[in-house]
Structures are given as C-alpha cells and as structure tokens.
C-alpha cells in the first residue's frame, strides 16, 4: 500500500475562466482519476492534507506535514509515501522531511509545472513516476526523494533551475540518483550521507521535537552596508543563513555585525549564490571565507541558503546546546 498526501500546488490547479489565472481546484480523488495506470503499480490510500500553493508553505506547515507523514510511515501496511507539493518550495519541504523523518520507507515528493487546463499538463506523468519510485524496494533507505520529469533527485541536492519548463529540476553538482525509463525505476548512485545525529530526541517517527523558526536568510550584494545585517539580527534572532558570493565571500562592511552576532551566540551559516560548487575558507582578505570561518561562521558546502536556513532550524530545535547544534550542521554538510 502506498499513501498519497495531497498538499496542493500547480498539480492541483486549473485556469479560472474569469481571471485567466491558475487557482487551486482539484483534490486527491480528481487527480488520481486522471492516472488510471496507477492501478498496475500498487494499491493507494489518499489524504487531502491541504491545497496550498508553494509560496504559502511555511516552516511551521512543513513541520505539521512532517508529523503527518511520520504517522503514515509508522503504519505497517504502508510501504511508501507520495506527497504532492507546489514546485516553488518543494525542494525545501523535501529537505526538511529528509532531516527529521526516521523511517527508511520511500518518501517521494512530486509536483507539476503545468496546470490541469494546459494541454501539456505534466501532473499525471509525474505522479505515476513518483508512485513507481515509492513502490520500488530499491528506493528504501535512500531518504526523501523528488521525482519530476522522470528524474529521481535527492532532497539535499535538488534545485528548481527553471521557472516554467517541465524539465525544471536538477541536482546541479552531482546529477540525479536515477531515472524512470519506460516505467522502470533505475538507480545509478546513492544519495549523500543522510544523518549524523547526536544529542537529539527521536519520538513518534521524528528525530526532533520542534523547530527553531527564528532563523533568517540574507543574500549579500555589492556595496552592502552593515545596517542591512543589523536589521536582520534585530529582535530574538537565533540564526542567520547567509548567501555569499562565489566561494563564500562577503562585502567587508558586513563582517563586523556578523562576527558580533556569532560572538553573542547567533548561529551563522554561509552558502554560495552559485548554482554549483562548494563554499570554502580559501580567501583571506577582509570578507573572505577564511575570516568568516575563524569568526565562527559555519561554511555549509554546496548546500543552498534556503536549505541551510532549514538545517539551522532543525539543529537548533533538536539539540540541547549551541555546540551540539553547530557540530550537527558541520557533520551534515561535510
């Protein structure tokens, strides 16, 4: 039995004749009815979790979805789980689920780039592919996956790389884990190491009891001033994910406020705005990655800034000390 959680997104939308714009419309029953081939894959049980567009998803809603997914996965009659999701934020939800779910059963997120009203609606084909992966014994233990356009992509690496193309998702640095070829699920590599958990409290299918949502995200730009960083650090901010230039470098004016925040106990991670490549403590000039690392910032490899923010939420919420949280972030981004 495969569970299917419907959360919304373009896969469930149609064009409103009055406005000409895409709006949420279909639920689980209507979408499944468009894919009769599912009957040859497995038996399915569905749940309408929500009908949210991707931009409406918040970390709190991701957490609620994680708890619901964990409940499904604890059922002995469920062999895998498919979750439909808006493509704008699917990579973030997939990553958070990958961090917190304890089950080794396949969990596959899927969406669509075209609405039900479009002649080239890709929802049925994507849903069929996701179901095939969720039903595949080879997908067990690989963590949370995203299936789009017959590509099988790991939650940690998947990125949306096109605004409109049906082939909009990729793993830019390492490529897909596998493909679905004429209905056959084929894996050619394994995903990155999923977990390095210490000092965490797993319960009810989840590795952590809560998220620390007071974590911000800030992309640097040329000529950036310190007051921009200070504004993001106002209030009770517990963490800040920085999207830096290139190898992990930032304008010199924003180094002092970041160093001061780190000294006060705020977690700061550094990612790159580049689509491929890792950040590194290579450059020693003012604002270079070496100085940031020496100040206590955590350089998080090829992880995107959006995912680094979520990793901070999980690490800060799931450990008992800042040292343990930092060690967890470093272990998961080597």
What fold, for 2-187? Answer: Rossmann fold (3.40.50)
Looking at per-residue pLDDT, the higher value among 138 and 26 belongs to 138
**pLDDT at position 38:** 94
Element counts in the chain: helices (H) and strands (E): 9, 16
Q: Which two tokens stand for residue 90?
A: 């699917």
Given a contact cutoff of 8 angstroms between Cβ atoms, the answer to whether 96 and 314 are in contact is yes
Note the pLDDT tens digit of each residue in 206-238. Answer: 999 999 999 999 999 999 999 999 999 988 999
Q: Is 10 a catalytic residue?
A: yes
Q: Which two tokens stand for residue 75?
A: 């059922």
Helix (H, G, I), strand (E, B) or coil at 19: coil
Looking at per-residue pLDDT, the higher value among 330 and 25 belongs to 330
| pLDDT surpassing 70 at residue 197 | no
**pLDDT at position 193:** 66
CA–CA dist 255, 121 (Å, integer): 47
Domain coordinates of the chain in residue numbers? Answer: 2-187, 215-332
**pLDDT at position 128:** 98
| pLDDT surpassing 70 at residue 194 | no
- pLDDT tier at 24, thresholds 50, 70, 90: confident
Note the pLDDT tens digit of each residue in 292-319. Answer: 999 999 999 999 999 999 999 999 999 9
Instruction: List, in order, residues 6 or more apart from 317 with CB less than 8 Å away.
Output: 208, 209, 210, 211, 212
CA–CA dist 132, 159 (Å, integer): 22
Give the Cα-Cα-Cα angle 188, 190, 192 (nearest 5 degrees).
145
**pLDDT at position 21:** 92
| pLDDT surpassing 90 at residue 19 | yes
- pLDDT tier at 202, thresholds 50, 70, 90: low
Q: Is the pTM of this model over 0.75?
A: yes
Of 7, 10, 200, 319, which is the active-site residue?
10
**pLDDT at position 334:** 87
**pLDDT at position 96:** 98
Note the pLDDT tens digit of each residue in 163-177. Answer: 999 999 999 999 999
Could you check whether 2-187 and 215-332 share the same CATH topology? yes
**pLDDT at position 29:** 86
**Of 133, 23, 3, which is closest to residue 70 (Cα–Cα)?**
3
Note the pLDDT tens digit of each residue in 87-126. Answer: 999 999 999 999 999 999 999 999 999 998 989 999 999 9
CA–CA dist 254, 112 (Å, integer): 39
**Of 84, 92, 87, which is closest to residue 62 (Cα–Cα)?**
92
CA–CA dist 231, 237 (Å, integer): 10
Looking at per-residue pLDDT, the higher value among 190 and 221 belongs to 221
For the chain, what is the mean pLDDT? 95
| pLDDT surpassing 50 at residue 57 | yes
Q: Please state the rounded mean pLDDT for residues 61-74.
A: 98
Residues forming beta bridges with residue 124, ordered by sequence position: none
CA–CA dist 171, 307 (Å, integer): 14
| pLDDT surpassing 70 at residue 69 | yes
Q: Please state the rounded mean pLDDT for residues 179-188.
A: 97
| pLDDT surpassing 70 at residue 201 | no
Note the pLDDT tens digit of each residue in 122-172. Answer: 999 999 999 999 999 999 999 999 999 999 999 999 999 999 999 999 999
Burial class, 172, CB count within 10 angstroms (exposed 0-12 / middle 13-18 / buried 19+): middle
Domain 215-332 sits in CATH 3.40.50.40: yes
Note the pLDDT tens digit of each residue in 238-278. Answer: 999 999 999 999 999 999 999 999 999 999 999 999 999 99
Q: Please state the rounded mean pLDDT for residues 76-83.
A: 98
**pLDDT at position 279:** 98
**pLDDT at position 199:** 42
Per-position DSSP letters for 257-276, written without gaps between them = HHHHHHHTT-EEEEEESSSS
Q: Where are the beta strands (DSSP E) in the chain?
A: 2-6, 13-15, 22-24, 44-48, 80-84, 107-110, 144-148, 151-154, 159-160, 169-170, 178-181, 184-187, 215-219, 239-244, 267-272, 298-299
**pLDDT at position 205:** 85
């Amino acid at each position: 039995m495969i569970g299917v959680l419907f959360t919304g997104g373009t896969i469930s939308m149609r064009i409103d004749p009055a406005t000409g714009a895409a709006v949420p419309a279909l639920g689980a029953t209507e979408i499944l009815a468009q894919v009769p081939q599912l009957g040859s894959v497995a038996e399915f049980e569905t749940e309408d979790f929500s009908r949210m567009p991707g931009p409406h998803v918040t970390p709190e809603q991701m957490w609620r979805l994680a708890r619901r997914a964990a409940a499904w996965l604890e059922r002995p009659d469920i062999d895998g789980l498919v979750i439909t999701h808006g493509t704008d934020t699917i990579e973030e939800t997939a990553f958070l689920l990958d961090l917190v779910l304890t089950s080794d059963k396949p969990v596959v997120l899927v969406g669509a780039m075209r609405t039900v009203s479009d002649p080239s609606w890709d929802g049925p084909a994507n849903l069929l592919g996701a179901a095939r992966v969720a039903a595949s014994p080879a997908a067990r233990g690989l963590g949370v996956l995203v299936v789009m356009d017959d590509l099988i992509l790991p939650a940690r690496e998947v990125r949306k790389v096109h605004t409109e193309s049906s082939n909009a998702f990729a793993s830019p640095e390492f490529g897909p884990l596998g493909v679905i070829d004429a209905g056959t699920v084929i894996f050619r590599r394994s995903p990155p190491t999923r977990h390095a958990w210490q000092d965490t409290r797993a319960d009810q299918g989840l590795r952590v009891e809560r998220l620390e949502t007071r974590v911000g995200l800030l992309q640097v730009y040329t000529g950036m001033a310190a007051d921009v960083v200070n504004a993001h650090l106002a209030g009770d901010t517990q963490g800040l994910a920085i999207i830096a230039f290139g190898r992990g470098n930032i304008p010199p004016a924003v180094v002092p406020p970041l160093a001061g925040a780190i000294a006060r106990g705020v977690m700061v991670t550094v990612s790159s705005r580049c689509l491929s490549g890792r950040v590194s403590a290579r450059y020693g000039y003012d604002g270079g990655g070496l100085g940031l690392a020496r100040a206590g910032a955590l350089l998080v490899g090829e992880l995107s800034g959006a995912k680094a923010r979520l990793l901070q939420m999980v690490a800060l919420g799931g450990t008992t000390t800042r040292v343990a949280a930092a060690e967890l972030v470093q272990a998961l981004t080597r």
